[in-house]
Chain A
């Protein structure tokens, strides 16, 4: 599975757009990029997934350049409730093979 590198922490203010970049230089052809959000004492929650270019849903956007060696999670107009840890996972494991959670990014949204 591809190793990922994310910033350890980020601070933002309410109403701002937040971009979290994940580096995955050894991404394989079949790998997908998936982002999860985790609040304290809760299980991770799926945010968005993509393979290439741009994906947008009601929560976030995911930008993936042509070489796919990095990806950027974009959270528009964050609020205090977006304070959480964000994990980038890269892979396309056969059914049941492990998804590895690397060090996530601790986002703190300030008033």
Chain B
């Protein structure tokens, strides 16, 4: 089992819809979770982090964390074509220095 798993997609949503991106992790002790956006040919850019159960909202983005079920999700409201990118889930694995492990990413396509 991979430490951090994401559906590779592509996930296609129409403009204006809600995009829902999911991520599961294997280590129950994980405590910090991050979402990065990566445009094609560019470097990852941090969007949000969350470390408490529940929802965290920032503009059109909402991160949801459920530690009991070991999943974290990212909702993008009012999706725009400019949101089309690959979204990487990252998890801090507890240990000596809290290593960050990345999922392989979900490719999102927002259709105008």
- A-B complex is real: no
B residues near A (Cβ < 8 Å) are none
